[in-house]
Amino acid sequence: MRYWLFKSEPETYSIDDLAKDRTTFWDGVRNYQARNLLREDKPGDGVLFYHSNAAPPAVVGVAQVAKAAEPDPTQFDKRSCYFDPDSPTSNPRWWGVTIRFERRLSRAVGLPELKDIPALQEMVLLNRSRLSVQPVTATQWRIIIGAAA
């Protein structure tokens, strides 16, 4: 079992939206590195739900991968803002996974707080900008969940 962190702008799709929907297909990822990571996701993997462009940005909840990667239908939808005319239907370029809401953290763990935890200094979140799906180690996961307790 592996762990991931998914970023979402709460104004677009928040942890409350996921709590209401229970499951959602994570579409719209249009970055190859994030796409490759999505394709490694397996059912049961843990997902930290992160609010980006928030004040402060924060890990706010936990979800799990409910279904492995499938082609993202929005890439073939001309009316979608995620439409990609160059993606071949026979060999889809963009993929997404289905995630299931698990719980809100009892307390959001903000980015400034994450930056202050020495054991988290190697987190991808703190070292690579603009990657909306990223791996989290088991240790990092445990520390963040613990910080919210």
Binding site for DNA (CB under 7 A): 7, 9, 30-33, 52-54, 56-57, 111-112, 115, 128-132
What is the enclosing helix (H) or strand (E) of 68?
A: strand 58-71
- Work out how close the CB of 26 gets to DNA at its nearest, in angstroms, rounded to a whole number: 13
Beta-carbon contacts of residue 131 (< 8 Å; ≥ 6 apart): 31, 33, 34, 124
- Work out how close the CB of 63 gets to DNA at its nearest, in angstroms, rounded to a whole number: 17
Cα distance between residue 142 and residue 91, in whole Å: 37
- Work out how close the CB of 125 gets to DNA at its nearest, in angstroms, rounded to a whole number: 7
- Cβ closest to DNA, residue 46 vs residue 110: 110
CB atoms closer than 10 angstroms to residue 120: 20
- Work out how close the CB of 74 gets to DNA at its nearest, in angstroms, rounded to a whole number: 13
- Cβ closest to DNA, residue 12 vs residue 23: 12
CB atoms closer than 10 angstroms to residue 132: 20
- Cβ closest to DNA, residue 23 vs residue 53: 53
